[in-house]
A and B are shown apart, each in its own frame.
Chain A
């Protein structure tokens, strides 16, 4: 069973600031997904990263997959109140049964206007 950590658990910032959240594990991942969940709704997929060292950009969001595929980061530039939500990472382990997508506990981001 992988040990999956997301940090920080909570983050409150002002509009316009930059931030980075992290997803770390002791296991090697075959791929990793990032989801955002807004209050009262289910999570929605932001991105899937597959290759070690991969960087993907989604407007002001930059996702990076670690070279060893054990960790990932999400960087937000010039955060806006609309970025407020719970950010969840969800890796799939290499080998074995990868039907089951495991989620981290998430980073709860609040962007204040």
Chain B
């Protein structure tokens, strides 16, 4: 049972480089989310997609872009990485946009030098 799959699991970037974090879910969920987790800050929502074809900003969207490629896939792009974006990134999905449980991937650890 794959659930939510994130790639890559680890990545080191230099300041100014770009990269895309990939996320795919095989549970036919409507809603997908990207969070970042930093020590002492908890999980903060970057962007979410309530349903296929829609995306909206979360709490900390600056420096990121997202694409809901189809119902399964939701990618997060860093156009010009900064050290402040060093974090662990989690993708999650939910069957509904209002009350459903969030299913998380295992996370992607990103370091920006």
User: How many angstroms from the CA of A31 to the CA of B98 in the assembled complex?
Assistant: 10
Contact-size category for B: 20 to 34
Given A33-B101, A92-B99, A101-B102, CB of A42 within 8 Å of CB of B107:
yes
User: How many angstroms from the CA of A110 to the CA of B81 in the assembled complex?
Assistant: 34
Instruction: Confirm or deny: A102 has a beta carbon within 8 angstroms of a beta carbon on chain B.
Output: yes
Shortest C-beta distance, A28 to chain B (Å), equals: 16
Contact-size category for A: 20 to 34
Q: Is the CB of A40 within 8 A of B40?
A: no
Shortest C-beta distance, B83 to chain A (Å), equals: 22
Chain A residues near B (Cβ < 8 Å): 31, 33, 35, 40-45, 48, 88, 90, 92, 98-106
- Measured between beta carbons, the chain A residues less than 8 angstroms from B97 are 99
Given A40-B107, A42-B106, A42-B107, CB of A100 within 8 Å of CB of B43:
no
Given A45-B101, A99-B50, A99-B56, CB of A88 within 8 Å of CB of B106:
no
Q: Is the CB of B40 within 8 A of A45?
A: no
Q: Is the CB of B43 within 8 A of A43?
A: yes
Q: Is the CB of A100 within 8 A of B45?
A: yes
Q: Is the CB of B42 within 8 A of A48?
A: no
Known: A99-B97, A102-B45, A105-B40. 19 other contacts (CB 8 A): A33-B101, A33-B102, A40-B106, A41-B107, A42-B4, A43-B104, A88-B43, A98-B98, A98-B99, A99-B56, A100-B45, A100-B48, A101-B33, A101-B45, A101-B102, A103-B42, A103-B43, A103-B44, A105-B42
